[in-house]
Amino acid sequence: MERRRFFDLWIDVYVPGRWYLAEPATSSGEEIEDPWMFSAGRPVAAPGPLRIPIFKPGKPLDIEFAGVGNTPIVNERVASVVTVHRIGLVEEEPGTR
């Protein structure tokens, strides 16, 4: 049986000069209807490319949570680790795989 690990990740608001990201939007700039869908712990149908406006400019972080829905945003390095090691960032509901 494959061993699966899950992580509860949070931002460090005490990083000096860090950036803050605003609400995700569609590629055409429209509001996401349910910004909480990305952090609800359920599989989500890909909504297409997203735009993530910068709320407060600063140093980019490896992982950030954007807007009121805490949409997880990761850089390419983190995405490659998650992909290569099949790390679950949120727990899947039973029977979804």
- What is the value of pTM for the model shown? 0.68
- CB-side exposure of 92: number of CA atoms within 13 Å? 11
Q: Return the pLDDT at 6.
A: 67
**How does pLDDT run across 1-54, given as a tens digit for each residue?**
667 666 677 777 889 999 999 999 988 988 888 888 888 877 778 778 889 999
30-44, 55-69, 71-85 — which one is most confidently predicted on average? 55-69
Cα–Cα nearest to 32, from 11, 52, 2, 5: 52
Give yes or no for a contact between 89 and 71, defined as CB atoms under 8 angstroms apart. Answer: no
Q: Return the pLDDT at 91.
A: 43
Q: Return the pLDDT at 55.
A: 93
